[in-house]
Amino acid sequence: MFIIVNFNMKKSITLFFLSLFCISGAVYAQGCSDAGFCSAGSMQNHNGQDEYVNLSKVSASISYGVGEQGVSIVQFTPEVQIGLFTGTQIQVKIPFMAINGNIGSNSGLGDAIFSITQKLPIDLNDGDILITAGSRIPIGTTDEKDKDGPLPMPYQTGLGTLDGIGGLSVRLKQWKMSAGFQWVMDDQNKNQFLRAAWLGNEDAQKYFESNKLKRGNDALLRIDRSLKVGRFVFTPGVLGIYRLNKDSYVNENGVRSSISGSDGLTLNINLSSDIKINDKAGLNVIAAFPAVVRDKRPDGLTRSAVLSFTFSRTLGN
């Protein structure tokens, strides 16, 4: 399959996203591609179209993020969405991650996301109301080690928690607002990173300690506005994630301690572009960077920038 795109338009879009990606390099954000629930079911970004939850489709995305202390995270995520009954859709996705930084590297499967989305039978003028319920299932690692000692959470492919996910989204014409909640139902984090294990390594001393980390619960609020330009749909938006309670870890004395500054608001600025290839296939490009951050981020979700590309294809007639 060959895709022909006007060169000037293609060049402009590429330069725009690269500029956005480079500008964001001096700040940090919670990388929602890892946290999971901002792309679960109805809470994923708006593309300006009706929410066709009765359709089935497959997609594959690849993203690049810059994490804590410049750690690079490349993530490939296959995804299946299956339309069932009227207005019901099941979503399943499992990422593969490759992580490399200044004190080690790691790769493997990440945590799986499973969700069910239902379109409510409420009559809106060119709009939809959707509810989503699901879970993040701990498949990825949290206890990967390097020859010098245990690696911190930015190097792990999982969060080590079984999470419940719930959300509500309302679309009115080109606007979409989503609210969600992700809570830890079972904590299985086995991370052992303490700075004391890396004495003499100045790079390791800059990471947040995360031995037997317990992560707090998160609430989400997202607002998007789509703009159609020819065959392209541009969607700027803001994504707020609020850590409701402090994270905690077990210090080198064996005492569990709350991490001051690990709760609070992270506010991301997002811009996506949807390109329609044909009636069944499309390409989505997303760039994101932060405006507000939490002081302490021991869970490894820090991103100074995220850039992702997703190809999707609708199944059936």
Domain assignment present for 10: no
pLDDT digits (tens, 9 = 90+) for 165-193: 999 999 998 899 999 999 999 999 999 99
**Domain with 43 in it:** 17-314
pLDDT 10s digits, 136-172: 999 999 999 998 899 999 999 999 999 999 999 999 9
Strands 127-137 and 161-172: antiparallel
The predicted pLDDT at position 231 comes to 78
Q: What is the CATH number of the domain that holds 230?
A: 2.40.160.40
Residue 22 belongs to a domain: yes
Average pLDDT of every residue of the chain: 86
Please report whether residue 3 resides in a domain: no
- Cβ pair 18, 283 in contact under 8 A: no
pLDDT at 269 over 50: yes
* Residue 158 domain flag: yes
Residue 221 has pLDDT above 60, yes or no: yes
32 — pLDDT class (breaks 50, 70, 90): low
Question: What is the tally of structural domains in the chain?
Answer: 1
Does a structural domain hold residue 258? yes
Give domain status of residue 145, yes or no.
yes
Q: For residue 1, is it within any domain?
A: no
8 found inside a domain: no
